[in-house]
Amino acid sequence: MWPKIVLVAAVCLLVNLPMGRMRERSRKFSWQWIAWIHASIPLIVVLRLWLKLPWVAIPINIAAAVAGQFLGGLPEKKRRRAASPTVSSAAPRGA
- pLDDT, one tens digit per residue, over 27-43 is 999 999 999 999 999 99
Task: For the chain, give every domain's residue range.
Answer: 2-82
Q: What is the pTM of this model?
A: 0.82
Per-residue pLDDT for 1 more than 90? Answer: no
- 64-85: average pLDDT: 93
- Residue 64 and residue 20 in contact, taking contact as beta carbons nearer than 8 Å: no
Per-residue pLDDT for 92 more than 80? Answer: no
